[in-house]
Each structure stands twice: as C-alpha cells, then as structure tokens.
Structure 1
Amino acid sequence: MRGVMDLNQHSKLLVQQVRENWELLGYETRNKYQFLDEAQNPIGYAAEQQKGFLGFMMRQFLGHWRTFDLHFFDQGRNEYMIAKHPFCFLFQRLEVQDINGQKIGSLQQRFSLITKKFDVLDAHGNVIMEMRSPIWKPWTYPFYSRGQEVACVLKKFSGLFSEIFTDRDNFAIDLKSQALTIDEKKIILATSVFIDLVYFEKKAN
C-alpha cells in the first residue's frame, strides 16, 4: 500500500490535525490527521472513530482514559493499520495491528516520577525501544534503542493565536535511524497521534 511504502521513503514527516469532513470509514469520525512529507505533500491519513452518544459521554467524563480506535490510511485512502487504546486509569497503553488483526506492536506506559516514560514492544511483547519525555521538555518525545536516539516526535506550535483559539495540533516526526523496521515506523506513526489525544487534546464543546 502506498502509505506504508512511503514510510520507507521519508525520514521526516509532519502530522497535521485537520477539520475537513472525510468519508474514510463509512461512519462518523472525530479527530482527523494527515501525514505530510518534507515538501508538505500528503502521504496518508488517520482518524479516530466516533462512537456515538456513548463515546461523547466517555470523552466528557473520562477524557484520555477512554477507549478509542485510530484508523490509518494511505494516500489512496486504503486502510492499512488500526491502533486501539483500551481503558487505562493509571498506565496508558496503545495496541497497534494491521487490518487483519495481526499484532504489529504496542506502547506501554511505565512508572516514572519526572518523565513520561513508555516501552515500545514488538508483536511478541519484547521491548525494542523506549520513549521518554523529560519534564523540562514536555513537547519532545524521543525514542531510544540501546541508549541511542533513533526517532523523535516533536509538537510544533502553529502560532500563538492558532493554539489559543483552536484545537488544531501539529507534530513533526524525525525517523533518525535507517535501521528502523517498517513495523517500528508504524508504531512511531501511531504514537504521534496517541500523544496528541492523550496529552494535548482539549475538550470538545
């Protein structure tokens, strides 16, 4: 699929929240994102599935602890990946799978007093990377493998007034290591949207 192939063709991506009404899933969606290359050409999309009135109530009362599903599409709007967030009260988790239900990997929060710390696990539950965001850099989410930074997700402010008056968020993804596998890149891609929903999403009116 083109969107998947593009992950091997680009080391830097922009994740941009959008407001268009998309007909991607055949049912209502809420948070929507597009992935752009360095020339700002769209190469893929993601959307959170809206779950009706129950989903609305869960969002209002549970916030980022709620369950949600993220669907990922290539430029041709063919779905190739789903990321599922189960209900988590203490430690957040994200489970990434292909459209056939085959597990790709997961993101699991770990206890930490002064950082946001997550383990990145492969399909077999083995820790392959660690993501940790220091308290003094709350907009930076680097990924480490064997002590070396291999990727980073960075929140990019689109302008003071835009941040104050809208919910729109932008993130940059830097895939620094050429040794990253396609599955690892998929998990990092899913993590960029997860970061927005868990740490930066504002309550809808």
Structure 2
Amino acid sequence: MDQVVTEQPAALGGPDDQSPSDADQDPAAAGADAAQQSVISGCPPGLEHLAVAHRIKIKQQVELAEVLTGLETANHYILLNEQSQQIYAAAEQSDCLARCCCGASRAFDMLLIDNQRMEVARFVRHYRCCGMGWCSCWSRCCLQRMDVTRSGQLLGVVTQDPRPCSTSISVRTAEGSTALRVRRGCCRCAVSVPCCSCCCPGCRDVSFTISAEEDGRQVGVVTKKWSGAARELLTDADSFSLELQRDLDVRVKLGALAAVFLIDFMFFEH
C-alpha cells in the first residue's frame, strides 16, 4: 500500500528556487527545467502541481457513517503525485435529498482544493434523469455533462458521447472544440459490473484510454484500481490512477481529471 505523504510538496518554479550550481548543470537538464518553467508560467495560480504532473493517484476516502448506516454521504478524495505527496483534495457538495433519492445520478459540485485549503477549480455535474440507464446511449438529453470552472469562469466541458456499444467521453475546451477522448470499447453494463466476463473480469483493474482528438495518438490512461474483495463489496470508495502526457495544456489536464470523477459516478458509485 502506498504511504501517503501529507506535507506540502516543494514549491514549483520561480527564480528564487535556483541554486548557485544551476549555471553548471548540463544543457539537457537546463532545457528540461526551462520547459517546466514555460509550462508553469502559463498556468493559473494553484494548478502548478497539475501542470507538471505525469501521474496522479486519486483515492476516495472511506466514509465511516456511510459504512455503518448505509446512507449515501458526500464523496471526498485525496490526490497524490508520483512521490505519494498530497497535492490536492476534492470534496463533493451536494444535497442530502439528492444523494438519497438520485444516488449515483445526482448533481453535485466537486471542489478541487490545494494544500492551503484554497479552491483552485470546480467541477459541476448536471443532473440527468436517465443518465445511468441504456437510454443515455441514444438520447442526447440524457447524456452526462460536467462543467470545468474556476472562479465562475468556464474552462472546459466534459461530455458523454452517444455511443451505444462503447464508453466514450469527450474533454472539450471552453470554446467547444474536442481536445481529448476517453474511451473503453465495451458495453456500459460490462464496465459498471466488473464481474462481467465479456471484457471486465472481476478482481482486476479497469482501464480507459485517453487519446488526442487532433491526431488520435494515445496521451494517457485512466485506471480504476482493484481495491480487494472486502473493500469493493463493503464500500464504494474507489481508487484511480490518471496518467497524462506531461506537456498537455493544464486546462486540458483539468478536464481529464474531471472525467475521472464523472467515470467514478457513472460506473463505480453504488
């Protein structure tokens, strides 16, 4: 099991971080540092760790009240970098009645919070009355949607594509153009029921590929981690891994992160 390091990761970028020996480093390392500085310089404040991330682990916290009472509570997650340092937390804001009556189909705001407890982004999921059923594959009014916002400004949109025999989610820019596609080539029931042997055998990880819309090349993967039989049966606290090409635009990365939460609610939330 990964050991979680809860202290704030070292600050990223900035001229004050340079040491006297930086001038003597080899040119390749200097070029890599310059590229990292370039990525961070165009990054909205608070998203620096996401801008330079290659792999993020998303771990849902077990809610004791939910385990003991069976009543659905708001979901909470911690996000870790490659060194198992916590870089963000995510907290669901939703209505208690919606959680009880609508279950996994509920609308909510998912707040992305940094280690200074500041909100750096918000994912707004819209309610779809039949979004978890078979009709969502055919009817556009039932397709899932999540808005990616920051300080009230729309940064992107994550939408479910009308694909009846496969899972396809689009990560779009604020202007509406598709940047990424998140796909798994099997039926909805096979994804939501991991014991289905047609393509998602039980007791193993479930993966979704991420490809660039422009040229179709794979730029990442979302993996739902198998948590063990006891945890899977007793709770819906899931663990995910998000791997992305490091130099993707941070707003596109933010959309891919939002897609992870949408996938969790669509397929793995009880």
Q: TM-score, normalised by structure 2?
A: 0.65
- How much has 1:115 moved relative to structure 2? 0.9
Q: Are 2:152 and 1:84 equivalent residues in the alignment? A: no
| Aligned residue type for 2:108 | F
Larger gyration radius, structure 1 or structure 2: 2
Q: Per the alignment, in what secondary structure is the counterpart of residue 7 of structure 1?
A: helix
**Unmatched runs of 5 consecutive residues or more in structure 1:** 22-28
- How much has 1:172 moved relative to structure 2? 0.4
**Preserved contact between residue 73 and residue 81 of structure 1 (Cα < 8 Å):** yes
1:126 to 168, 177, 182: 177
Assess, with a 3 A threshold, how the Cα gap between structure 1 residues 65 and 161 changes in structure 2: closer, same or farther: closer
Counterpart of 1:25 in structure 2 is none
Counterpart of 1:40 in structure 2 is 84
**Preserved contact between residue 169 and residue 259 of structure 2 (Cα < 8 Å):** no
Q: Per the alignment, in what secondary structure is the counterpart of residue 30 of structure 1?
A: coil
Q: TM-score, normalised by structure 1?
A: 0.84
Q: Tell me, in whole angstroms, the C-alpha distance in 1 between the residues paired with 2:152 and 2:252.
A: 17
Counterpart of 1:24 in structure 2 is none
Note the 1:74-153 alignment, pairs <5 A: 74-88=114-128, 89=130, 90-98=142-150, 100-135=151-186, 136=199, 139-145=206-212, 146-153=215-222
Counterpart of 1:26 in structure 2 is none
2:99 to 38, 49, 59: 59
Q: Tell me, in whole angstroms, the C-alpha distance in 2 between the residues paired with 1:117 and 1:102.
A: 26
1:156 to 225, 245, 250: 225
**Preserved contact between residue 66 and residue 87 of structure 1 (Cα < 8 Å):** yes
Q: Per the alignment, in what secondary structure is the counterpart of residue 164 of structure 1?
A: helix
Aligned residues: 189
**Preserved contact between residue 64 and residue 198 of structure 1 (Cα < 8 Å):** yes
- How much has 1:187 moved relative to structure 2? 0.9
Q: Are 2:244 and 1:172 equivalent residues in the alignment? A: no
Note the 1:7-18 alignment, pairs <5 A: 7-18=50-61
Q: Which has the higher helix share?
A: 2
| Aligned residue type for 1:97 | T
1:190 to 258, 263, 267: 258
Q: Tell me, in whole angstroms, the C-alpha distance in 2 between the residues paired with 1:178 and 1:14.
A: 15
What's the Cα RMSD here?
2.1
Q: Which has the higher strand share?
A: 1
Identity %: 29
Q: Tell me, in whole angstroms, the C-alpha distance in 2 between the residues paired with 1:8 and 1:167.
A: 29
